[in-house]
Amino acid sequence: MYGLYLRMGHVKNQTEYDYVEQYFLERLPQDSTELSFFGEVYKAQAYVWCHFTLQNWRRCYRYAKRWVQLFLDHPKFQTLELDLFIKGLHNLLSVLYYNMDRTRFYQYFALLEEIVEERKEDFNENGRIYAFIYTELARINMYFLEANFAEGVAAIPHIEQELVKYQDRVDEHRVFTFWYQFACLYFAQGQYREAIKYLQRIVNSPKLTLREDIQVFARLLKLIAHYELGDRDHVDAQIRSVYRFLLKFEHMQDVQKAVMDFLKESVYMNRDELTPHFRKLQTRLETIAQNPYQRRPFLYLDLYTYLRTKIEGLSMEEAVKLRVSEGTY
């Protein structure tokens, strides 16, 4: 299931949903009533990746929590398979982040940090690398949850230094994830050229089928960053290139089309003319989001918050904190 997710990302229509569900059910053992401890863990792991790909966050949380709870209920296995335990925590934290469940996120992030610190002598070299990856990805997500973008940006050089040190041991799709998260932090801070630097690394990758989802949204976010910088000719020229890329890899959903249409229509407008057009895009996105299969892009681009900054004249930090107080984030 994990390999399938790496290839296609989250499902984006009913056809893909049906395909993933059938793929999972055809490979599910018929009799799993009496499983060993690790049999139960691997079963939970399979369900996590199935529901993660399907964007069924309630069920994904249920099985990620079971994965972690199995280790908490049987501490002796934590020592035997420490890597598998923290991998479960990593997946649980990812689901809690997508659910914007701050209370539980902080609880399990504290547990992950505690385990990594207390068991640091028990990790082999590979385990230490993944402990670093899981901890720092969760920390970056915490910066987003708290709208603490300045601290997130300040942490990037250290994380990147560690990635370079482990570059021969870290999967490329993990590196893509870090680069995209770095770009989002810089974008939220208004440092668009720094954001573009990391997005360009993803765009330049020759492995176009690796994490297609990140490759798609890296191109879209890069367009928006150039738009913010006023690089009008660049945006106008690149819209067609990005459009072709989305069509080629079948990632042209309604959200992407709405954003591209907006950029194409507004790229040469004066800034003081844009507010009605931002409101129009906001309304269009709200309508699109009523379709659950069209919500996938919002996992990668916080377009609602971005549009609020443009319409209400807020910073990203102010807009996020306002949405938190309103219960809409």
- List, for residues 220-276, the tens digit of each pLDDT value: 999 999 999 999 999 998 999 999 988 887 778 899 999 999 999 998 898 888 999
Of the candidates 317, 290, 45, the residue with the CA atom closest to the CA atom of residue 53: 45
Q: What is the pLDDT of residue 196?
A: 97
Query: pLDDT by residue (tens digit) across 141-195?
Result: 999 999 999 999 999 999 999 999 988 888 888 999 999 999 999 999 999 999 9
**Is 100 a residue whose pLDDT tops 70?**
yes
Rounded (10°) angle between helices 192-203 and 212-229: 150
CB 308 within 8 A of CB 281: no
SS3 category, 81: coil
User: What residues contact 131, with CB distance under 8 A and at least 6 apart?
Assistant: 86, 116, 120, 123
Q: Which tokens is 132 given? A: 């670093």
Of the candidates 253, 201, 209, the residue with the CA atom closest to the CA atom of residue 13: 253
**Residue whose structure tokens are 């082999």:** 124
Phi, psi torsion values for 198, nearest 5 degrees = -75, -35
Query: pLDDT by residue (tens digit) across 181-228?
Result: 999 999 999 999 999 999 999 999 877 666 778 888 999 999 999 999
Domain residue spans of the chain: 1-146
Q: Which CATH number fits domain 1-146: 1.25.40, 1.10.10, 4.10.1110, 3.40.720?
A: 1.25.40
pTM over 0.85, yes/no = yes
- How far apart CA 106 and CA 313 sit, in angstroms, is 30
Q: Which tokens is 60 given? A: 């994904």
- How far apart CA 193 and CA 226 sit, in angstroms, is 8
CB 149 within 8 A of CB 316: yes
